[in-house]
Amino acid sequence: MSKGISGFSKLSKDEKIGWIAQNYFSNPEGAADLIRKYWNADAALQQLHDEFIENTITNFYLPLGVAPNFTINGREYIIPMATEESSVVAAASKAAKFWSARGGFKATVINTEKIGQVHFIYKGDAAKLQAFFDAIKPKLISGTAHLTANMQKRGGGILDIALRNKTSELPDYYQLHATFDTKDSMGANFINSCLEQFSKTLKEEALNHDAFTDEEKNLQVIMSILSNYVPNCTVRAEVSCPVADLCDDKGIDPEEFASKFLTAVWIAEIEPYRAVTHNKGIMNGIDAVVVATGNDFRAVEAGVHAYASAGGQYTSLSHAKIEDGIFTFWLELPLALGTVGGLTSLHPLVRLSHEMLGNPNAEELMQIVAVAGLAQNFAALRSLTTTGIQQGHMKMHLMNILNQLQATDSEKGQAVRHFEKNTVSHSAVHDYIDRLRNFDPANIEKDFLQ
């Protein structure tokens, strides 16, 4: 039986919930109650959240944590991180504290160029098209004056437009390849508006171009859209210290650790299966800050992974070396971020996150986000090459497992003490709680906590 519906978007929120609950849940009342449970008690705040997207029925919460002790370019930060994954915030915090005692992180913005393209089909002489483009290029730019005025006041705007001939890859396919500087704005709406104006001017001028045949006059614009691949909007973050200072654990030899660490990075540079997981660890830190600051983590992810593949094989975003006894660890990656517009001015917790960071501009935020990724990567590689990743990760994951098992506060307390000296795994925690629940409580201390 079909469960389709016409006019769903026109229903009230309560009507949407009622229809969903009745058609998709075995316990409609329970489902509707759970959906409403996550509404904000502040009606105005809830309405604000409802209007972020379409067909809103409730809020989907992510924890917002903070990682303290970051020193970036000599300035102290506490970094907000929105994520659901255990150990991310703890790992970043541990790496931040470690490097704060060794001079902290250094970060540099390399470039801030963003890209948009008008994709079109032109069936005619390429030389005639190039001459036509050269003639109308000033009109393409002047035609966007009503869109670029405010951006230009802030020092941004259109940097250049170029005609690209892609016919060797797809018959009759050309691009207007435009570059932009959007300053502190993410710039998506600005770029797309400019591109659509380019498209309009391109078509109008082609129709009136005497040198074109009728077929050439009717060039076909396929689409006008920004690119999330921004290889010239990049930032570098790094840390360094003498190899002898690389460990604060007496049980770890710093030279052996440095050697294994470098090898682990080199493996990620040449082995795509490892590189994907290696870079995912970097993105654990980056995405958490991107989300907390109201930026587009999907765009960041897409651009970063394209960048990691730019050489023809997917590879590590981070690199390491030892020269003259100095260990250096760094990454360089594209980050198109904004600190004005979008959710940055609407979402109360996004505003809070920006204020927590000292209200950075876009370039400063690029540096902070890159550093969070490098810190996360350092923490992961340190664990992998010493104790193993599971020891720390599963310790942090313990409370999630206990909540899945609906452990009481008493059971949680006893389990935490037990697993301070025992390996955490889902089955081990399950077995321990099962034993707690089935043994005489009078014998628990003796049987489980010695």
Ramachandran assignment for 157, one of left (phi > 0), alpha (psi -120 to 50 degrees), beta (any other): left
pLDDT band at 442 (very low <50, low <70, confident <90, very high): low
Per the residue annotation, which of 94, 393, 397, 418 is the catalytic one? 393
278 and 205 housed in the same domain:
no
- Model confidence over 17-75: pLDDT tens digits? 999 999 999 999 999 999 999 999 999 999 999 999 999 999 999 999 999 999 999 99
195 and 206 housed in the same domain:
yes
Closest CA to 111 of 307, 291, 286: 307
Report the CATH number that the domain containing residue 306 is assigned in CATH.
3.90.770.10
Whether 440 is catalytic: no
* Residue 1 resides in a domain: no
Q: Who contacts 434 (Cβ-Cβ below 8 Å, separation ≥6)? A: none
- Number of independent structural domains in the chain: 4
443 and 316 housed in the same domain:
no
Quick one: how far is CA 179 from the chain centroid? 22
351 and 396 housed in the same domain:
no
CB 378 within 8 A of CB 328: no
* Helices (H) then strands (E): counts for the chain: 17, 10
pLDDT of residue 431: 80
pLDDT band at 390 (very low <50, low <70, confident <90, very high): low
- Mean residue pLDDT of the chain comes to 92
- Model confidence over 302-345: pLDDT tens digits? 999 999 999 999 999 999 999 999 999 999 999 999 999 888 88
Per the residue annotation, which of 196, 296, 364, 397 is the catalytic one? 296
**Is 50 exceeded by the pLDDT of residue 150?**
yes
268 and 208 housed in the same domain:
no
Whether 84 is catalytic: no
Range of the domain at 422: 392-448
Per the residue annotation, which of 13, 49, 85, 139 is the catalytic one? 85
**Is 80 exceeded by the pLDDT of residue 237?**
yes
* Residue 3 resides in a domain: no
396 and 381 housed in the same domain:
no
**Is 50 exceeded by the pLDDT of residue 82?**
yes
237 and 172 housed in the same domain:
no
Question: Distance between CA 384 and CA 257 in Å, rounded?
Answer: 11
442 and 306 housed in the same domain:
no
Whether 296 is catalytic: yes
Question: Distance between CA 372 and CA 46 in Å, rounded?
Answer: 31
348 and 406 housed in the same domain:
no
Amino acid code (one letter) for 294: G
Q: Which two tokens stand for residue 79?
A: 């970094």
344 and 371 housed in the same domain:
yes
**Is 60 exceeded by the pLDDT of residue 448?**
no
Question: Distance between CA 248 and CA 421 in Å, rounded?
Answer: 21
Per the residue annotation, which of 200, 260, 280, 430 is the catalytic one? 280
253 and 354 housed in the same domain:
yes
123 and 103 housed in the same domain:
no
Which ranges of 183-270 does DSSP label H, i.e. alpha helix?
188-207, 214-217, 254-270
Q: What is the mean pLDDT of residues 408-414?
A: 82
Whether 393 is catalytic: yes
**Is 70 exceeded by the pLDDT of residue 393?**
no
The long-range contacts involving 71-74, CB below 8 angstroms and separated by at least 24 positions, are: 71/96, 71/99, 71/100, 71/103, 71/104, 71/105, 72/104, 72/105, 72/106, 72/107, 72/367, 72/368, 72/371, 73/104, 73/105, 73/106, 73/107, 73/367, 74/104
Determine the length of the chain: 450
Find the range with the poorest average confidence among 318-322, 324-328, 381-385, 417-421.
417-421
